[in-house]
Amino acid sequence: MRFYKLQKVALKISNNPAKFLNGITSNALDRPRSAFVDFHGKIVATFDQLSIDGENHLIVVEEIVLDSLMKHLERYILLSKAIVERQDCKVYFDLDGTYKKNGDAHVIPQRKGQLVLTRENLENTVAAEDFTLFRLQNNIPVQGIEYNNDFLLNVDESEFVSFTKGCFLGQEFLSKVHNRSKPSWKLVAKFEDDCTAEEKQKMTSKTLDPQAQKILGFVFVSNLPSKEGAEKSGAGGAGSEKKS
């Protein structure tokens, strides 16, 4: 089995977690990934999630965004009386998806592989560069590296959002872009040789793809026709927060 230890933390939400989360997260609670966004649809934190039972819900976020997330959640916690507790566990990426949970461990499916939340010390068998290549090949960007407080649909148009779950913070802006147009930018994995000079400067997680013998990286590319994209870049708007 191939494991890579992540810099993520798990939070347990209890005392009617569904009531607390439904109005402030972008996806249905039974989906593996979701996000906290602000009123304008810009990311506060993307996260993985798992409902343990009706009274407890786990979310997993990058440790680097934990402080800003808790600040964002403070008033909602006070209003709802939800309980948010950091869990004493480690988070690993199981690249092969073969780990079988035991005891109090939990697993959350990913686009490929799965997250493992456990108190066990699993052997970290994957080098950082190899895990980066795995992420690039399977379109798994990371908050704090590929994106931060970007407009959510610029990062992903489907994985983090349900447009049928009902009202939530930021829904108006996200739905407007989804229904009337499309995001101005799109985060993709792309070979450096295929990038413009500006894209090359903004690429993240650049790693040699040994099969192609080319540098591969994540980059935001225009999601609009070239003429329209130029006009939008100058005009700004809900879907064009990202690049200047």
pLDDT of 237 strictly over 60: no
Q: Is residue 116 part of a domain?
A: yes
What are the CA-CA distances from residue 6 to residues 90, 122, 133, 171, 203 (Å)?
A: 8, 12, 15, 30, 22
Instruction: Yes or no: say if 12 and 63 are a contact pair by the CB < 8 Å rule.
Output: no
Domain containing residue 81: CATH number: 3.30.1360.120
DSSP-derived 3-state class of residue 155: helix
Q: What is the pTM of this model?
A: 0.90
Q: What is the pLDDT of residue 241?
A: 53
Confidence label for 139 from pLDDT (cuts 50, 70 and 90):
very high
Q: Find the mean pLDDT for residues 72-87.
A: 96
Tokens of 239: 């879907």
Q: Is residue 203 part of a domain?
A: no
Q: Is residue 207 part of a domain?
A: no
Q: Is residue 226 part of a domain?
A: no
Domain extent, residue 76, equals 3-121+137-178
Domain count, the chain: 1
Q: Is residue 16 part of a domain?
A: yes
Q: Is residue 17 part of a domain?
A: yes
Q: Is residue 114 part of a domain?
A: yes
Confidence label for 180 from pLDDT (cuts 50, 70 and 90):
confident
**Would you tell me how many other CB atoms lie within 10 Å of the CB of residue 4?**
21
Confidence label for 243 from pLDDT (cuts 50, 70 and 90):
low
- Percent of the chain predicted with pLDDT > 70: 92
Q: Is residue 83 part of a domain?
A: yes
